[in-house]
Amino acid sequence: MDSLTDEQLVLQIQNGNREAFEQLYWRYKDRIIGVAYGVLRNQQDALEVTQEVFVRLYNNIDKYQPNSHFFTWVYRIAHNLAIDRYRRKRTASEVEFDHEFQLNYTTSDIPLAPSLGIDPERSAERSELRAQIAAAMDSLSEKQRTIITLREIDGLSYEEIAAVLDIQIGTVMSRLHYARANLQAALKTYIDCLDVKK
């Protein structure tokens, strides 16, 4: 069943095959967690949204149209549910950044030290960098944080992002440009301090 396409699995689910749904779950679980975490910045919320995504998928699988990519459909559901939860919790206290979860469900070009590193000073510097990046991400608008997450963390193409967010490719490029610029600006003071220390 691993060799079946998403669309073939959906067809089997629509015909009552629960094993096919389980296959889709394992195929997309970690990526959905990553999308939700990128928006929410909270492990428990990301896991709850992921569970809600798969409940929605199961309950609405008959609404899936085979002329659209399943990948786009599931990401749109995940993104919308994460945004809804984020908006509901926006007035709550600041979201806590969970280092272990970030290491498990996102990717980064920045080498990260384990929490019990051999070099305590270097480990502390990396921990501070992670916290600075998290704070910088939190300073972005909801739309900019989402687009950075989909592109830089989840690795979606411009076309896939446009489909997930239901926007034009030009809008994707524009939002991504401004999101990157704002992220760099938010990290500038920290980076300048590092340059001074050198």
pLDDT single digits (tens) 158-192: 998 898 888 999 999 999 999 999 988 888 877 77
Among 102, 86, 106, 82, residue whose Cα is nearest residue 94: 86
Q: Is the pLDDT of residue 71 over 60?
A: yes
pLDDT computed for residue 50 by the predictor: 95
Q: How many residues does the chain have?
A: 198
Number of domains in the chain: 1
- What does the pLDDT read at residue 181? 92
Is 99 within 8 Å of 130 (Cβ atoms)? yes
Range with the lowest mean pLDDT among 10-14, 136-140, 157-161?
Answer: 136-140
Q: In terms of pTM, does the model score above 0.85? A: no
- Residue % of the chain over a pLDDT of 90: 27
Assigned domain for 122 exists: yes
Q: Which domain holds residue 129?
A: 6-197
Asked if residue 163 belongs to a domain, the reply is yes
- What's the CATH code of the domain at 43? 1.10.1740.10
Residue 21 lies in a domain: yes
In a domain, 77, yes or no: yes
| Cβ neighbours for 105, distance < 8 A, ≥ 6 positions apart | 30, 33, 34, 37, 46
Q: How far apart are CA 36 and CA 80, in angstroms?
A: 9
- Dist. CA 102–CA 6, nearest whole Å: 27
Establish if 1 belongs to a structural domain: no
Angle at 86 between CA 59 and CA 36, to 5 degrees: 60
